[in-house]
Amino acid sequence: MVNASVQALDRAIAVANLPGITETAPSFRSLLIIYEPEIIEADALVRELRKLVAEGLRTQVVAGRSWSVPVAYGSPNDADLLEVSAATGLSREDVVAIHSSAEYQVYFVAFVPGLPVLGGLPPALHLPRRPDPRPGIQAGCVMIGGMQGLIVPITMPSGWYTLGQTPLRCYNPGAANPFLFRPGDRIRFRPVTAREADALTGVPGERFLDSGN
């Protein structure tokens, strides 16, 4: 899995603490490296990176934490869930069962603050995205699109499908740690009723870490 290599290189760079690198940002299969050529020139940087790769990237290291994310499937309404059901030929219950039985990995956090892009969506739920994004998708929406999943951190447009809503907030601007998820984290979705989800609103996100983390 190429994303494991991306994350391993990202970790290796952090550990090596190369001078001149101001930040790195992983995506699916590439790592954006922002550097200051006044401190390290491009050629020298590439040499250093090749050295790190040659030393062997530890792709097997599981750095991430494990989360159990409650989802009220069919919230705020079940229009998208029914659309996914029709498009996949699966019953509404099967869509929920399949989506909540998989383990997802946070490939990277991008687009808007705190948005986890999730790998591991079962192939039965792979669907092309809508040709045009819809505006006003609310924070907490648990969505699927293409081969990925995501959780919406702030109101935003999206061409993906909303399967349900979680009371967890992946972006908390005022908090000491504003971003709940990090690349490499693992997520399972746990179906809850809308009433249970309401009761969990405002509960600190860290409470949904699996024990043993």
Partner 1 sequence: MPALLRAIDPTPFVTIQDNGRRGWRRFGVSPSGAMDRMSLTIANALVGNRPTEAALEFAHAAGEWQVDAPGCRIAVAGGSFAITVDGIPHVAFNSITLTRGQRLRIGGAADAVWGYLAVAGGLDIPLQFGSRSTHLRTGIGGWAGRAIQPGDALPLRLDQATDEPERAIAPPAQPSAPYRVVLGPQDDYFAESSVATFLASSYRTTHQMDRMAYRLDGPTLTHEKGYNIITDGVVPGSIQVSGSGTPIVLMRDAPTVGGYPKIAVIIEADIGRLAQQRPGTEVSFQAISPPEAQAVRQRFLARMQIVAEDLGSPRLALARSG
Cβ 10 to partner 1 shortest distance, Å: 8
Decide whether 24 or 59 has the Cβ nearer to partner 1: 24
Nearest of 66, 65, 58 to residue 11 by alpha carbon: 58
Cβ 151 to partner 1 shortest distance, Å: 12
| Tokens coding 118 | 């999730």
Phi-psi region at 100: left, alpha or beta (left = phi > 0; alpha = psi -120 to 50):
alpha
Cβ 171 to partner 1 shortest distance, Å: 8
Distance CA(43)–CA(9), nearest Å, equals 18
Residue 121 to residues 37, 78, 187, Cα–Cα distance (Å): 40, 19, 11
Decide whether 95 or 106 has the Cβ nearer to partner 1: 106
Decide whether 53 or 112 has the Cβ nearer to partner 1: 112
Binding site for partner 1 (CB under 8 A): 22-32, 34, 37-38, 41-42, 108-115, 117, 153-154, 173, 178-179, 183
Decide whether 16 or 31 has the Cβ nearer to partner 1: 31
Distance CA(13)–CA(52), nearest Å, equals 8
Cβ 140 to partner 1 shortest distance, Å: 16
